[in-house]
Structures are given as structure tokens and as C-alpha cells.
């Protein structure tokens, strides 16, 4: 499959360690890639390079094989972009802004825009200046999708949206993804990325720290179960069975065991001989994955330092 | 003693918008969560508490004083983070913080320095040039810097990254320990879950639920999702489930060989022995989260409104 977006050793050095450094990432046609990282880690800077707003210090961003800084005018209409900091042009109302956007893109049929407006419960007739953060965000989303673009670049698109709108937005993005759009989305909400993305890149201090395929997260080879026993005796007896214990909390008579999915039956038949209070699966998700991963990196750095 | 009181508060903006007969109270030392989608009336209620708006009927009180009439006696004792920030763009962060200190007549620079360090904020630049996250941090610091006894926080962490959200949660927890009374409106369920003692949900300007946070966490009826190794095992389980009294089957998905059942905690051991007789490849306790509970109040809209199809 061909790559729609390619970042090759993209570097923008703002001095004092700020900026982005050697970012390399390919996004294939129809793929949805998430972008996670703290404020100031370089997410927005990277996305702005893809739009061709910024000239890289070295390396380059390519869209359809064209270098973004030099040739963005050739592909910018194919990108639906929701910026991280929204600054609308000077139009009186949301409707006026959306109309001008549609004209610029040569969109005649407004039925898709109207459908989006209805799903996001947006009243675009309101004054652009007086809109709340949530309404501005919705207007920006509609403006990005209005021309049915092939690529979506979304920089924290759900900030300011309430839970209902967030879920409506996620459904829209899932549909766009299913229709074959190429999507790159940054977000602070891991659940959001987990629900939508094929892969997620983690950026820390301007560098890609990790890229993970969501299949690995959704279908882990081993799973963890937390079990609490009614008596310390049962708890101790269970520990004698030789399960791999990843967390031990004697004060609550609790253990967390890690097992392969084939061993689940054995666990249940062993448990019939015990008096338990509860058993539940410890969910493996993007949040736990990245936390573990970052801790490991930290340990590695410390080790190197010690050596 | 109730520190924050809202009694039969009504403000009718026409065409069904506004708040209607809203009543709740937050006791001294309590953290109260206020949940609802945009436009449900959270900010309107909070703005009445701050004395910015005159109620059509009913009233809002803080520390026993009626908000609209006596706001000047209240403001000095309340830390407020507004939902929509409107900061003076031409000032630097420092100028703004100093101005707020002067207005309150309190200059606690030790606490201010601590807050700036905690939230990693450099207030030296002009507000005009600050990112959304930095402006948020500035509002957070300015609300906390005078160590007020009441905190009214309207979506305080919107736009902050997960690391800063955690810093914020830790700070709130500590303030709670120090006996502060806190009203927190938020869209971020994990934040409300981590801090609040009591939670109210507002819908279309009316309170639809007011409950103790722990009740949700410690429900004794639990739902489990079980995945079987094959169709035969799935069907055998479904047949058996009908004959067992301690378990009720809520859902069955033959295509995935998966069921969802509900079991009371007192029967967990019977449940485990039952499952041990089947070939199982997946087992999961489905926690009822605050998010699920919240969404259940809006499900109707989803089904009939059309605009919110999941």
C-alpha cells in the first residue's frame, strides 16, 4: 500500500531543546494513526509541518510524495485540518465562514455538511466571536470535513467537546476511516485513540518514543487477573500453586496473576477449591502500555547513567 | 454545615433554555461533582453562585450569604475558574497574577511560587501569546494562589495534558484533606471519579440524579463477559444458565461465542465452579463506570434524537 504521508527525519530546532527531532513516520493510504504526548512535546509542530506552514530545519514532510513546505498548495485542498488553536477568519457567523469554505473548495452539495451539523448539534448561525470553545471546535470540525477530503489532520479535535459530542465525533471519524480516509489525529484521551486508530505514535520531548499497533493492545498474548480471597490461608495456599504473580497485596489477600489465554480454564478449575471474594481482568490498554513503556525507558536511561 | 447552597434556582432564557428549579448543597469539606453536556446549565448555575446573574426565582448562597446581593462579601473567600476564559490579552502572566493578588489584598508568594512550579507555568510572556494550555494553567494558579476556603471550578482541566491533569487531581485531593469545600464541573470522568464525594447530573436545566460516588464503585451486582472456545460450549452454557438461580444472562452473542451475565458478589464462588466446567477463552468483569451511568441518562436522546447515534 502506498504512503500518503511520509515524515523523513523531520527536525525543527527552536533552541533550548525545544522543537522536534528526527521524526520519521509513514502513514499509509486508508490508515488511521494516533499521536499522543504531553503539551509541548511537539505534536502540533509536527502536524503544522505536514500542512506546510513551517520550514523544517532539516528532513522533510511529504504528502502524496510532494514536499510539504514547497508544494503544499498542490494538496492542501485534499486535507481536512482541525488546528489545535482555533483562529477563525473574520466572518460574522459560523454559517458565513462555512459557506466561504465551501466556495473555496468548490463544494456545491451542502447535504453532507448539514448532516454533520445535525449530528454535532451545532447552531452555526451564532456569531463566530461569541461562540463557546465547544461550538468553535464543532465549527472547525465541520469546516474540515465539508469538502469530503481524502486526508484528515486532526490536532486535539475533541478538546472542549462534552462526552456526548465526543462520542458523536468519534463515530463520525470511525465512519470516515471505514470509507478509506487517511487520518492522523492527536489527542490527550487514550480511550479515543484506542477506539479509532490502527497505530499510535507516542512523542516525548520532540522525539518519537514508540509506535504501537493497536492489534497488540487489543489482543495481548497474556492477560492479567486480580483475585481477592476471603481468608489469608486461602491466599497463601493459592500462592503455592505456582502461577506467575505480577502483583501481590497480602494486606488485602489479593494477587494479580498473568496467564496465557489457554490457561484460563486451569485457573477456573483451580479456583473452585478456594473461597474468593472477587475476580476481575486487569484491562490492558494504551494507557498501561505507554506507562510501562515510559518507565522502561526511564530505567534504561538510569542504567546507562549508572554504567 | 452547607457551604454552597442552591435552592429552587430558576433562570429562564426562553425556548427551553436556562435552569429550572435546581437544588443541591455542598457541605463543608466535601467535593461535589457537577456533570452534564454543554448547554445543560452547569455554567449558568455556577455563574449564579458567583453572583454574576440574578435568578428569576430561588437563590444561590455561599457561606450563608446570598450570592447576587452579597457577592462582594463572598468573592474574596472563593477561588473560581471560569469555563470560558477571558483573560486580559495585553498583560503578561505576571501582571495578571499581581493584579489578582492586589484585588484580593492577599500576597502569598510562597504558595504562588509553589503553584507555578507544580503546574510548570512560566507567566513572563504576554497572555496574547500563550497557548490554550498555558492560559488554562494561569487561570488555575490564579484561582488557587490565595488559598481560598471554597473552590468553584468550571471545567478546569479542559486542554491540559494527562500529566497536568494528574497534578491537578493530586492538588484537589490535598485541598480536600485540608478541609476545602469544592464544586467541580467537568467532562473528564476519571477526574470526577478520583476526587468527588457526591455527584449530580444535570440535563436540560434540571438535576436528574444526585448520588454518593462510592455507591457506584461498590455495587454488589456485577456484570461479567465470558467468551467460550466454541459454539457448542456457548450453547451448553446458555442452556445451563437458564437453570441456575444465582445468575441472569443479560446478553448473548452466538457469532462471538460470548455472553454477559450478572451475578451477586455473594455467589462468586458458585459462579467460578460453574465456569470451571466450561472451556473458556475470555473472562472480564464489566465495571459500571461513571461514564456508563452518565450516558444512561442520555440514552433516550440517542435513540430518538437521531443526532447522537452511536
Are B38 and A278 an interchain contact pair (Cβ–Cβ within 8 Å)? Answer: no
How far is B210 from chain A, CA to nearest CA, in Å? 19
Tell me the average pLDDT of chain B: 89
* Residue B294 is assigned to a structural domain of this protein: no
> Which of B179, B212, B245 corresponds to the end of one domain?
B212
Are B281 and A85 an interchain contact pair (Cβ–Cβ within 8 Å)? Answer: no
In this complex, the residue of B165, B279, B309 whose CB is nearest that of residue A265 is B279
Asked whether the predicted pLDDT for residue B310 surpasses 70, the reply is: no
In this complex, the residue of A85, A163, A279 whose CB is nearest that of residue B37 is A163
Domain residues for the domain of B282 are: 221-287
- The sign of the torsion formed by the CA atoms of B260, B263, B268, B271 equals negative
Are A269 and B285 an interchain contact pair (Cβ–Cβ within 8 Å)? Answer: no
- CA distances (Å), origin A257, targets A74, A254, A284, B269: 55, 10, 13, 18
* Residue B11 is assigned to a structural domain of this protein: yes
Contacts of residue B276 in chain A, CB cutoff 8 Å? 265, 268-269, 271-272
* Cα–Cα dist A91/A128, whole Å: 7
- Residue B34: which of B207, B163, B164 has the closest Cα? B207
Site from A36, A164, A273 to mutate, B interface, most B CB atoms within 10 angstroms: A164
Task: Determine the residue of chain B that is closest to A117 in CA distance.
Answer: B307
pLDDT of residue B309: 33
Instruction: Kindly state whether residues B180 and B240 are assigned to the same domain.
Output: no
Three-state SS string over chain A comes to CCEEEEEEEEEEEEECCEEEEEEEEEEECCCEEEEECCCCCCHHHHHHHHCCCCCCCEEEEEECCEEHHHHHHHHHHHEEEECCCCCCCCCCEHHHHHHHHHHHHCCCCCHHHHHHHHHCCCCCCCECCCCCHHHHHHHHHHHHHCCCCCEEEEECCCCCCCHHHHHHHHHHHHHHHHCCCEEEEECCCHHHHHHHCCEEEEEECCEEEEEEEHHHHHCCCEEEEEEEECCHHHHHHHHCCCCEEEEEEHHHCEEEEEEEHHHHHHHHHHHCCCCEEEEEEECCCHHHHHHHHHHHHHHHHHHHHHC
Are B284 and A277 an interchain contact pair (Cβ–Cβ within 8 Å)? Answer: no
- Residue B151: which of B131, B180, B177 has the closest Cα? B180
Q: Rounded to 5 degrees, what are φ and ψ at B20?
A: -130, 115
Task: Provide, rounded to the nearest whole percent, the portion of chain B with pLDDT above 70.
Answer: 96
Site from B132, B199, B260, B281 to mutate, A interface, most A CB atoms within 10 angstroms: B132
- Specify whether the CB–CB gap between B20 and B43 falls below 8 A: no
Instruction: Kindly state whether residues B34 and B170 are assigned to the same domain.
Output: yes
Task: Determine the residue of chain A that is closest to B290 in CA distance.
Answer: A163
* Residue B208 is assigned to a structural domain of this protein: yes
In this complex, the residue of A166, A261, A278 whose CB is nearest that of residue B268 is A278
* Residue B247 is assigned to a structural domain of this protein: yes
Instruction: Kindly state whether residues B125 and B249 are assigned to the same domain.
Output: no
pLDDT of residue A181: 97
Instruction: Kindly state whether residues B125 and B168 are assigned to the same domain.
Output: yes
Contacts of residue B298 in chain A, CB cutoff 8 Å? 164
Q: What pLDDT digit, counting tens, does each position of B68-95 carry?
A: 999 889 988 999 999 888 899 999 999 9
In this complex, the residue of A38, A134, A156 whose CB is nearest that of residue B163 is A38
> Which of B172, B187, B212 corresponds to the end of one domain?
B212
Instruction: Kindly state whether residues B113 and B28 are assigned to the same domain.
Output: yes
Partner residues linked to B259 by β-bridges: B226, B252
Name the residue with cell 480511550: A191
Instruction: Kindly state whether residues B8 and B137 are assigned to the same domain.
Output: yes
Contacts of residue B187 in chain A, CB cutoff 8 Å? 161-163, 166
B160 in contact with A, Cβ within 8 Å: yes
Instruction: Kindly state whether residues B185 and B268 are assigned to the same domain.
Output: no
Asked whether the predicted pLDDT for residue B302 surpasses 50, the reply is: no
- Specify whether the CB–CB gap between A36 and A29 falls below 8 A: no
The total domain count for chain B is 2
- Residue A149: which of A238, A76, A198, A211 has the closest Cα? A76
Are B37 and A165 an interchain contact pair (Cβ–Cβ within 8 Å)? Answer: yes
B299 in contact with A, Cβ within 8 Å: no
* Residue B142 is assigned to a structural domain of this protein: yes
pLDDT of residue B307: 37
- Specify whether the CB–CB gap between B296 and B303 falls below 8 A: no
Contacts of residue A123 in chain B, CB cutoff 8 Å? none
* Residue B259 is assigned to a structural domain of this protein: yes
Instruction: Kindly state whether residues B186 and B88 are assigned to the same domain.
Output: yes
pTM confidence score: 0.80
Catalogue all structural domains in chain A, each as residue range(s) with its CATH number. Answer: 3-217 (3.40.50.300), 221-282 (3.30.70.80)
Are A276 and B187 an interchain contact pair (Cβ–Cβ within 8 Å)? Answer: no
Could you report the average pLDDT of every consecutive run of 10 residues in chain A (307 residues)? 93 90 97 91 94 96 96 93 90 94 91 93 89 89 95 93 91 96 94 94 92 88 90 93 91 92 87 91 84 65 49
Instruction: Kindly state whether residues B195 and B237 are assigned to the same domain.
Output: no
Instruction: Kindly state whether residues B18 and B117 are assigned to the same domain.
Output: yes
Name the residue with cell 509541548: A40
Three-state SS string over chain B comes to CEEEEEEEEEEEEECCEEEEEEEEEEECCCEEEEECCCCCCHHHHHHHHCCCCCCCEEEEEECCEEHHHHHHHHHHHEEEECCCCCCCCCCEHHHHHHHHHHHHCCCCHHHHHHHHHHCCCCCCCEHHHCCHHHHHHHHHHHHHCCCCCEEEEECCCCCCCHHHHHHHHHHHHHHHHCCCEEEEECCCHHHHHHHCCEEEEEECCEEEEEEEHHHHHCCCEEEEEEEECCHHHHHHHHHHHHHCCCEEEEEEEHHHCEEEEEEEHHHHHHHHHHHHCCCEEEEEEECCCHHHHHHHCCHHHHHHHCCCCC
> Residue range B199-220: average pLDDT?
89
* Residue B282 is assigned to a structural domain of this protein: yes
A40 Rama sector, left if φ>0, alpha if ψ -120 to 50, beta otherwise: left
Asked whether the predicted pLDDT for residue B271 surpasses 80, the reply is: yes
* Residue B55 is assigned to a structural domain of this protein: yes
**What residues contact B242, with CB distance under 8 A and at least 6 apart?**
B249
Instruction: Kindly state whether residues B73 and B204 are assigned to the same domain.
Output: yes
Asked whether the predicted pLDDT for residue B308 surpasses 60, the reply is: no
What is the CATH classification number for the domain harbouring B75? 3.40.50.300
- Residue B149: which of B170, B173, B177, B179 has the closest Cα? B179
How far is B275 from chain A, CA to nearest CA, in Å? 7
B130 in contact with A, Cβ within 8 Å: no
> Which of B178, B212, B246 corresponds to the end of one domain?
B212
Amino acid at each position: 500500500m502506498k504512503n500518503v504521508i511520509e515524515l523523513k527525519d523531520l527536525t525543527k530546532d527552536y533552541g533550548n531543546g525545544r522543537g522536534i527531532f528526527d521524526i520519521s513516520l509513514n502513514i499509509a493510504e486508508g490508515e488511521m494513526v494516533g499521536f499522543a504526548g504531553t503539551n509541548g512535546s511537539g505534536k502540533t509542530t509536527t502536524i503544522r509541518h505536514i500542512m506546510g506552514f513551517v520550514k523544517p530545519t532539516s528532513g522533510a514532510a511529504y504528502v502524496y510524495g510532494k514536499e510539504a513546505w514547497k508544494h503544499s498548495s498542490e494538496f492542501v485542498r485534499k486535507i481536512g485540518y482541525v488546528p489545535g488553536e482555533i483562529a477563525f477568519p473574520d466572518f460574522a457567523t459560523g454559517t458565513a465562514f462555512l459557506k466561504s469554505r465551501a466556495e473555496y473548495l468548490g463544494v456545491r452539495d451542502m447535504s453532507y455538511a448539514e448532516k454533520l451539523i445535525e449530528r454535532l448539534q451545532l447552531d452555526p448561525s451564532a456569531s463566530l466571536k461569541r461562540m463557546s470553545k465547544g461550538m468553535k471546535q464543532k465549527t472547525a470540525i465541520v469546516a474540515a470535513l465539508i469538502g469530503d477530503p481524502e486526508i484528515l489532520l486532526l490536532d486535539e479535535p475533541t478538546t472542549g467537546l462534552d462526552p456526548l459530542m465526543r462520542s458523536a465525533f468519534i463515530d463520525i471519524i470511525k465512519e470516515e476511516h471505514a470509507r478509506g480516509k487517511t487520518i492522523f489525529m492527536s489527542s490527550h484521551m487514550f480511550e479515543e485513540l484506542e477506539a479509532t486508530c490502527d497505530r499510535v505514535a507516542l512523542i516525548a520531548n520532540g522525539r518519537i518514543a514508540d509506535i504501537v499497533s493497536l492489534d497488540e493492545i487489543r489482543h495481548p498474548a497474556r492477560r492479567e487477573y486480580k483475585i481477592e480471597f476471603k481468608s489469608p490461608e486461602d491466599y497463601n495456599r493459592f500462592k503455592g500453586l505456582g502461577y506467575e504473580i505480577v502483583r501481590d497485596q497480602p494486606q488485602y489477600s489479593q494477587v494479580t496473576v498473568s496467564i496465557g489465554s489457554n490457561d484460563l480454564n486451569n485457573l477456573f478449575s483451580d479456583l473452585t477449591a478456594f473461597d474468593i471474594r472477587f475476580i476481575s481482568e486487569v484491562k490492558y490498554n494504551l494507557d498501561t502500555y505507554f506507562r510501562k513503556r515510559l518507565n522502561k525507558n526511564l530505567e534504561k536511561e538510569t542504567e546507562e547513567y549508572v554504567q | 454545615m452547607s457551604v454552597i447552597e442552591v435552592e429552587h434556582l430558576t433562570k429562564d432564557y426562553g425556548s427551553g433554555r436556562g435552569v429550572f428549579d435546581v437544588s443541591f448543597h455542598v457541605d463543608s469539606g466535601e467535593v461535589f461533582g457537577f456533570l452534564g453536556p454543554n448547554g445543560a446549565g452547569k455554567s449558568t448555575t455556577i455563574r449564579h453562585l458567583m453572583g454574576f446573574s440574578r435568578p428569576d426565582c430561588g437563590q444561590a448562597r455561599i457561606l450563608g450569604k446570598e450570592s447576587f446581593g452579597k457577592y462582594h462579601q463572598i468573592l474574596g473567600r472563593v477561588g473560581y475558574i471560569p469555563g470560558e476564559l477571558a483573560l486580559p490579552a495585553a498583560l503578561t502572566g505576571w501582571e495578571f497574577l499581581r493584579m489578582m493578588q492586589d484585588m484580593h489584598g492577599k500576597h502569598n508568594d510562597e504558595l504562588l511560587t509553589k503553584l507555578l512550579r507544580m503546574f510548570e507555568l512560566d507567566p513572563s510572556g504576554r497572555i496574547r501569546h500563550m497557548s490554550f494550555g498555558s492560559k488554562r494553567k494561569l487561570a488555575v494558579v490564579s484561582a488557587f494562589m490565595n488559598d481560598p476556603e471554597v473552590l468553584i471550578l468550571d471545567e478546569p482541566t479542559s486542554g491540559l495534558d494527562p500529566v497536568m491533569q494528574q497534578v491537578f487531581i493530586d492538588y484537589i485531593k490535598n485541598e480536600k484533606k485540608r478541609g476545602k469545600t469544592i464544586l467541580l464541573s467537568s467532562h473528564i470522568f476519571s477526574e470526577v471519579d478520583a476526587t468527588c464525594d457526591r455527584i449530580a447530573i444535570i440535563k436540560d436545566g434540571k438535576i436528574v440524579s444526585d448520588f454518593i460516588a462510592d455507591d457506584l464503585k461498590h455495587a454488589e451486582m456485577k456484570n461479567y463477559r465470558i467468551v467460550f472456545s466454541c459454539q457448542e460450549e456457548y450453547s451448553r452454557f446458555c442452556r445451563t444458565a437458564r437453570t441456575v438461580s444465582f445468575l441472569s444472562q443479560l446478553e448473548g452473542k452466538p457469532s462471538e461465542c460470548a455472553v454477559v451475565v450478572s451475578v451477586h458478589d455473594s455467589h462468586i464462588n458458585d459462579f467460578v465452579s460453574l465456569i470451571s466446567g466450561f472451556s473458556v477463552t475470555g473472562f472480564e468483569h464489566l465495571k459500571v463506570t461513571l461514564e456508563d451511568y452518565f450516558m444512561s441518562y442520555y440514552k433516550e436522546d440517542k435513540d430518538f434524537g437521531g443526532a447522537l447515534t452511536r
